[in-house]
Amino acid sequence: MPFEKEKLTNEELVELKALSRLAKGDILTMTRLAGTGHPGGSISSLDAYLVLFSYAKLSEEPRDRVIISHGHTSPGVYAALARLGHMPADEVTAFFRKGGSPFEGHVVKGIPFIDWSTGNLGQGLSAGCGFAIASKIKKEDARVYVFMGDGEQQKGQLSEARRFARKYGLTNITALIDYNHLQISGSIDHVMPQNIIENYLSDGWKVVEINGHDYNEIYEAFRETRNSDNPVCILAHTVMGNGIPFMENKEKYHGNPLNEKEYKDALEALEMEDNFDFYKEKRKGKWTWKPSVYSETLNVDTGSPFTYANEDKLDNRSAFGKTLKDLGDINIGKGCTICTFDCDLAGSVKTGDFGSAYPDYFFQGGIQEHNTATIAGALSTTGILTFFADFGVFGIDETYNQARLNDINNTNLKLILTHVGLDVGPDGKTHQCIDYVGLSRNLFNFKTIVPCDPNQVDRAVRYVAGTKGNFLLATGRNRWPVISSDNGKPFFSDEYTFKYGSMDTVREGHDGAIITYGGMVVRAIKIREELAKKGIALKVINMSCVHETDNEVMEETLKQPYIFTYEDHNVFTGIAPVITGYLLQKGYRGRFESFGVRRYGVSGDTEEVYAVEGLDVESMAETLLKIMQ
């Protein structure tokens, strides 16, 4: 059992002290060698790292999880792990921040016992909540340890995480703040005065104060918090640069390595040999140690698709809600757990049915999108299929950097944006998310899908549920008709299987092609009908995978004299640049025009908003006619 005995023995204290001394030397050597890094906080956090990595349950399942939220203390983490035998000490020291090495400037997952890459302050406690939920759901006897800096406490996301942890009784979290009173610009009391203890207490947490360099106090604090009725925060009073007199309490050493003289003085204070030249030489070579990234496989039953007729009068977000509930029915309790996160919009994003049926797996995060996005991301890496549904403006605009850190962590998140585009209508410009395609285009590990009717939504949602990786799937707010084939049957039904990267030719034509997605597909069909009256046959292509061109469909389309993109999205960052890139490469000789949003939208009925922007069926038909006639 972790932290089993009441107290550390004298031998253990002596050993920890010895390891700490050596690790401090490693920290100073690696940062000086790299010429960059954060020695100050690495040293103030070090003693807590040593105790945790010595006594927590890290090597046997179910194991405790560790989040280093102030990821810049990586030298402290590496040195502690190396001195405890979990990483090769010489490689860690020699190759810190060397290009391509696993010993990165900020802690990444794959380092022993570390399951979350960090670097952006303020997100770690939220990630910890994600792992804590996983542990509770799996009924594991395991804890989550979240280490944080004190300057970091200024980030607002932490207050959101505290409230969430308290609400959901995540008593299996132990947070520890390295309270060295310094941040880059100086004293935390000067940079941004904060009542850290009162902040935690006001959100219903318990706070324990200890000396962060006293191994007994650290050990006892970790031991006692294992039986707390509240989430606990250990406020560890520490000294930046502890043990090297000239470094102590100097903010200068937050982010600056020592110079040669300082380094020699420090080694002397630590009574350590100077092996700098050895490491310098070694750094010219190559490391051998490799991180091993923990990855859970999911066993999702994606069920059988639902097919809707137009008479079902279903909007796309409701189609998502129905498929989600179906996935719950098929999977929960039968091999794969599914969790869904909401930010006070369940009624609108249609996760309510799932929530009512599976209250234990439905998490109401409140109006705390930053926290919720990170929790969902972290949870999604634990073998639990995780959905986070929100309005576009909250689910990606407000939380872009949380999505980005999720992406860097190769999470397995299914992000559903229900309200996107000018389609949002009367709520106005702040709520009209017209940049989601452009934003997600920056996230290398996110695939983005915008289905065009309830049948495609159903199939795409099942696809993302069954496919590993991050997906952003947008539904739109309004109800759009079911797309039918020329024969009147639903286009996306029996013969159709969703395949990522495929484009769908929903209407044939030879006088030009219009490429579109989401709610504009049905409009494009109407535009086609208008043009048909003038004897023009417009091909209509649905590009639901908005970042991908489908070679087969596109090769055929190159024969068209006109190609248009038409989207309810910022015209500069949607599908237009994807298509222009393709057409340029292929040497397309026809005329290309892009239609999309060129200013923030007005507040009104969707049709009114489109009309102001010239994107309604009538305006578009007129515009295309002028071009094509």
Q: Which residues in 374-413 contact a copy of itself (CB under 8 A)?
A: 393-394, 397-401, 404-405, 408
* 432/393 Cα distance (integer angstroms): 7
Give the residue with the Cβ less far from a copy of itself, 181 or 528: 181
Q: Which two tokens stand for residue 244?
A: 């090297």
Query: What is the footprint of a copy of itself within residues 423-452 (CB under 8 A)?
Result: 425-431, 434-435, 438-439, 441-442, 444
The residue among 221, 206, 199, 209 whose CA lies nearest residue 153 is 199
592 binds a copy of itself (CB under 8 A): yes
365 binds a copy of itself (CB under 8 A): yes
The secondary structure of 37-95 as a DSSP string is S-HHHHHHHHHHHHHHHHHS--SSSSPPEEEESSGGGHHHHHHHHHHTTSS-HHHHHHH
Q: Residue 165: is it exposed, middle or buried by C-beta count within 10 angstroms (0-12/13-18/19+)? A: buried
Q: Which of 165, 319, 576, 620 binds a copy of itself (CB under 8 A)?
A: 576
CB of 292 vs a copy of itself, minimal distance in Å: 18
Query: What is the footprint of a copy of itself within residues 540-559 (CB under 8 A)?
Result: 547
Give the residue with the Cβ less far from a copy of itself, 58 or 546: 546
151 binds a copy of itself (CB under 8 A): yes
Q: Hey, what's the torsion of the CAs at 612, 616, 618, 621, to 10 degrees? A: 120
CB of 186 vs a copy of itself, minimal distance in Å: 9
370 binds a copy of itself (CB under 8 A): yes
342 binds a copy of itself (CB under 8 A): yes
Q: At what angle do helices 215-225 and 10-34 cross, to 10 degrees?
A: 100
* 339/410 Cα distance (integer angstroms): 18
Give the residue with the Cβ less far from a copy of itself, 85 or 156: 156
Give the residue with the Cβ less far from a copy of itself, 236 or 583: 583
* 360/609 Cα distance (integer angstroms): 40
Which position has the token pair 């040293």?
A: 43
**CB–CB of 433/400 below 8 Å?**
no
Q: Residue 182: is it exposed, middle or buried by C-beta count within 10 angstroms (0-12/13-18/19+)? A: buried
Give the residue with the Cβ less far from a copy of itself, 140 or 607: 607
Q: Which two tokens stand for residue 228?
A: 């707390």
The residue among 394, 449, 409, 425 whose CA lies nearest residue 609 is 425
Give the residue with the Cβ less far from a copy of itself, 220 or 369: 369
Q: x/- site string to a copy of itself, residues 190 to 229, per CB under 8 A?
A: -xxxxx--xx-xxxx-------------------------
The amino acid that residue 130 corresponds to is G
Give the angle subtended at the CA of 71 by the CAs of 68 and 77, to the nearest 5°.
65
CB of 31 vs a copy of itself, minimal distance in Å: 10
CB of 83 vs a copy of itself, minimal distance in Å: 22
Q: Which of 286, 501, 605, 627 binds a copy of itself (CB under 8 A)?
A: 605
Number of chain positions touching a copy of itself (CB under 8 A) = 113
Q: Which of 368, 381, 475, 516 binds a copy of itself (CB under 8 A)?
A: 368
Q: Which of 246, 292, 599, 627 binds a copy of itself (CB under 8 A)?
A: 599
Q: Which two tokens stand for residue 47?
A: 């003693």
Quick check: helix, strand or coil at residue 36?
A: coil
Q: Which stretch binds a copy of itself (CB under 8 A): 294-302, 310-318, 323-331, 341-349?
A: 341-349
Chain-centroid distance of CA 12 in Å reads 39
Q: Which two tokens stand for residue 374?
A: 């990170």
Q: Which two tokens stand for residue 550?
A: 């489908």
**CB–CB of 105/36 below 8 Å?**
yes
Q: Which of 293, 558, 602, 625 binds a copy of itself (CB under 8 A)?
A: 602
CB of 12 vs a copy of itself, minimal distance in Å: 34
CB of 354 vs a copy of itself, minimal distance in Å: 14
Give the residue with the Cβ less far from a copy of itself, 44 or 302: 44
* Residues with Cβ within 8 Å of residue 38, at least 6 apart in sequence: 31, 72, 73, 74, 75, 254, 255
Q: x/- site string to a copy of itself, residues 14 to 53, per CB under 8 A?
A: --------------------x-xx----------------
Q: At what angle do helices 74-83 and 10-34 cross, to 10 degrees?
A: 130
CB of 249 vs a copy of itself, minimal distance in Å: 17
CB of 101 vs a copy of itself, minimal distance in Å: 7
585 binds a copy of itself (CB under 8 A): yes
Sign of CA dihedral 341, 345, 350, 355: positive
Query: What is the footprint of a copy of itself within residues 154-193 (CB under 8 A)?
Result: 154-160, 163-164, 166-167, 183-185, 191-193
Give the residue with the Cβ less far from a copy of itself, 155 or 528: 155
The secondary structure of 282-334 as a DSSP string is HHTS------------------------GGG---HHHHHHHHHHHHHHHHTTT
* 512/127 Cα distance (integer angstroms): 49
Give the residue with the Cβ less far from a copy of itself, 194 or 275: 194
- Encode 34-58: b = buried (16+ Cβ within 10 Å), e = exposed: beebbbbbbbbbbbbbbbbbbbbeb
CB of 302 vs a copy of itself, minimal distance in Å: 29
CB of 215 vs a copy of itself, minimal distance in Å: 29
CB of 287 vs a copy of itself, minimal distance in Å: 12
Query: What is the footprint of a copy of itself within residues 129-148 (CB under 8 A)?
Result: none
Q: Which stretch binds a copy of itself (CB under 8 A): 50-58, 270-278, 339-347, 451-459?
A: 339-347
Query: What is the footprint of a copy of itself within residues 88-127 (CB under 8 A)?
Result: 97-101, 103-106, 108, 117-122
Give the residue with the Cβ less far from a copy of itself, 42 or 154: 154
Query: What is the footprint of a copy of itself within residues 57-86 (CB under 8 A)?
Result: 71-72
CB of 104 vs a copy of itself, minimal distance in Å: 4
Give the residue with the Cβ less far from a copy of itself, 481 or 581: 581
Give the residue with the Cβ less far from a copy of itself, 101 or 619: 101
Phi/psi for 413 (5° steps) reads -90, 140
609 binds a copy of itself (CB under 8 A): yes
Distances (CA, A) of 264 to 38, 90, 242, 348: 18, 19, 16, 63
Give the residue with the Cβ less far from a copy of itself, 274 or 605: 605
